[in-house]
Chain A
C-alpha cells in the first residue's frame, strides 16, 4: 500500500457544485495532515491544515478520520478559480518525520 494515495481524477465539476475528495494514508502513527493546492505550472501552496476535530475555512472543509486513515477535502459552491491540483500531505512518523506528498487530485470546474 502506498504511503499516501489519492484519486488522480480529473474531477470535472460544474461551477457552483460541491465536490469532495479523499486521501488515504498507510501509517497509523501519522500526526500532521495538510492540503496543498498546485496551479498549473506553479509551485504548491498551503491550502489548509487538517485538525483532528475537523476545520473549515470559508467554502473549504477538511476532516480527518484516524480510524479509517483518511483525510477529506470538501469544496462548496465551487468557483472557476478552484480549478487546480490538490495535494494531500502527511507527516509520516516513520523514518525521521518524513513529509509525504500524495500525487494529487486534479479538479476542473466547468462554466
Chain B
C-alpha cells in the first residue's frame, strides 16, 4: 500500500479482555516495528521484525503482550487480559531494512482504551 495501515484506529475494551491490533506495512518494507505511546509520553519500543530473522522482543512489557508477523507482510500485536495501564496509542512503523540509516514510516496508530 501507499502507507502503513493500522486497524482498528480506536478500540475500547473492558479490563481482562484480549485485544488484537493489526499493522499492514508498506509493500517491500522488510523491517516492522511496534511502539507504545501513553498520553503525553514518548515512544516506548515494543518489538521489531526483520525479514525472517527472529524478532527482537526486548521491549515487550509483560508476557501478556505478543506479536506475530507472517513473512514481510501483516503483523498483529496481541494483548491478553488487558489492564488499564495498557491504555495507549500503539504505533506501527516499517522501513526498507533494519538499519538505522533507513527512515521509519509510521501508521496513524491504534488508540486503545481499557475501562
Contact = CB atoms under 8 A, between A and B. Distances in A.
A26 B31 CA distance: 25
24 contacts: A32-B101, A34-B103, A43-B91, A43-B106, A43-B107, A44-B104, A44-B106, A45-B106, A46-B103, A46-B105, A91-B99, A91-B100, A91-B101, A95-B58, A97-B100, A98-B56, A98-B100, A99-B33, A99-B100, A99-B104, A101-B42, A101-B45, A103-B41, A103-B42
Contacts of B58: 95
Q: Dominant SS at the A interface?
A: loop
B108 A92 contact: no
A1 interface: no
Contacts of A102: 42
Contacts of B103: 34, 46, 49
Q: Which 3 A-B pairs have the closest CB atoms?
A: A91-B100, A103-B42, A43-B106
Interface in A1-39: 30-32, 34
Interface in A36-94: 42-46, 49, 87, 89-92
Interface in B43-99: 43, 45, 56, 58, 91, 98-99
Contacts of A49: 103
A43 B100 CA distance: 19
Given A46-B104, A91-B100, A101-B42, 6 more contacts: A30-B100, A32-B100, A44-B43, A44-B91, A87-B42, A87-B43
A35 to B, nearest CB: 11
A75 B38 CA distance: 27
Contacts of A43: 91, 106-109
A18 B108 CA distance: 30
